Amino acid sequence: MDFLYDCKNFAEIYKDDITKKFTELFSEFEDCDKVSQKQNVYELNRLIDEMNKEEFRSVFNNEMFDKINKMIEEKKMDLKNAILLLKQVGYCNELNESQICGFYFTLLSKSFEKMIFEEEEKKEEKDEKLLVDLCECNLLLGSIFSSKLISICVPCLLKVASDKEENEEAQKEVEMALLALNNIGFCKVEQELFLDKITEIIKYLQEHRNLTRLAYQSVWQFLINQLRNNRSWEYVVANELHFAREAIKELEELSKCVDWKRQKDEEGVNETKEEIILKRWLKTLLIYFRYCQLRNEEFVKLIGNIAQILRTAKNNFGEICDRCLECFDNSVRNKSVEIEHFLESGAIDVIFEMIVQSNIDLRQNICCLSFIKKLCKRLKEKKASESYEAKRKEVKRKLFEKLEEYGYEDWTIGFNYCFVEEDEDCYFLIENLNDYFVYY
């Protein structure tokens, strides 16, 4: 036991020491030549990889970025070495969802944006590699982008993403370009800048499977984000590119790589890359379920796939569990999603399983009951069509049978008591819940 205690203490001391090591090593830059600087960057990048979110945010703030900008201007840091460092910072920022705030307002952001515009305007001797690197840095680190910057960066990075070479270096470049594009988020991108090229890239990847899982998730994230701005081409997403089918395939493969038995309180265990990418897919699906209106036979299978992940994750993987619940919440808000989809897929079963289990936390209880409340509200919506009314009553009957199967009366009475005692703000979730089901 003493040995284990000492190991734990050593791990904590080492973690606390990472930011100090980084700061000390970074301060040596001014006294190094270009070659030594590059070696320093490799060591700094290794330390960045080991940082947790708190350590990462404490180091990479506006002050640090402005310091880097000043060192570049004063020739104390070589631009290529600075880019090598910043691409790693951007990569970790995006992968770990560290969410660096305010980069857009830094001097470094303005300097890089100015370099991008100047490089793009060159008629001859344009440095394509520098342009790509600068675009990636700005997109990976930023959260606000001008329309002019987007109009340059998107075609530039799509060109990199179209590289069909299968060597490791080329794949890494494609991954970085797609990860940067993915970070544009909901900023509007004109359709002519990306749709044909992104469709071509996805179709090629579906046929050849020659890209990393992270890159494949990123290209879909970029495309699905843009659905929020323009749904005119969602037919391409649903029926030509078969997004739901591809998401099912990726979620199934990633689920096989996750150690679902790992204890949630186990210390010293970092997320695997597969866990991170799985969470990113669920983030993509949040947008898809909220904004995409087209449905096909693949959709119910996708709902069922998420239900299975939720069932597996509910005890030990809180963040994955939360995202699955958010997916269901967005789905039930979307009027194009039929209530029977939740019945057929098993989603309602796993929601009820969670509610009746004793170790579920309050936040997840709220999400489950909020889902049921929204579902019930939709079942109260009447229409003049006789066929719709008959279908609505049949779905309500099936749902009521599910409630009885899971001890509906017992847990509603229990949660009325618990919520009043623990958090009165949650009481609205179950107020008059019985009224939605008794008369069908």
Distance (Å, rounded) from C-alpha 393 to C-alpha 219? Answer: 42
Q: Does 274 reside within a domain?
A: no
Tell me what pLDDT residue 79 has: 95
Q: What is the pLDDT of residues 146-155, one digit of tens each?
A: 999 999 999 9
One-character DSSP codes across 220-258: HHHHHHHHTT--TTHHIIIIIS-HHHHHHHHHHHHHHHS
Give which of 177, 114, 176, 125 is closest to 148, Cα–Cα: 114
How many residues in the chain? 440
Question: Confidence class of residue 409 from pLDDT cuts 50, 70 and 90?
Answer: low
CB 171 within 8 A of CB 210: yes
Q: Collapse the DSSP code of 32 into the 3-class scheme (helix H, G, I; strand E, B; otherwise coil) and give the result.
A: coil
Residues above pLDDT 70, as percent of the chain: 86
One-character DSSP codes across 318-352: HHHHHHHHHHHHHHHH-TTS-HHHHHHHTHHHHHH
Q: How many domains does the chain have?
A: 1
Q: Does 72 reside within a domain?
A: yes
Q: Does 422 reside within a domain?
A: no
Residues above pLDDT 90, as percent of the chain: 50
Give which of 324, 323, 326 is closest to 308, Cα–Cα: 324
Q: Does 99 reside within a domain?
A: yes
Query: Which residues have C-beta within 8 Å of that of residue 185, sequence separation ≥ 6?
Result: 143, 225
Q: What is the pLDDT of residues 340-370, one digit of tens each?
A: 889 889 999 999 888 877 677 778 888 888 8
Backbone angles phi, psi at 247, to 5 degrees: -65, -40
Q: Does 188 reside within a domain?
A: no
Q: What is the pLDDT of residues 85-129, one digit of tens each?
A: 999 999 999 988 877 878 989 999 999 999 999 999 998 888 999
* Sign of the alpha-carbon torsion through 187, 188, 192, 194: positive
Q: Does 284 reside within a domain?
A: no
- AA letter at 319: E
Q: Does 281 reside within a domain?
A: no
Owning domain of residue 37: 1-144
Distance (Å, rounded) from C-alpha 67 to C-alpha 343? Answer: 56
Give which of 197, 115, 184 is closest to 144, Cα–Cα: 184
Q: Does 291 reside within a domain?
A: no
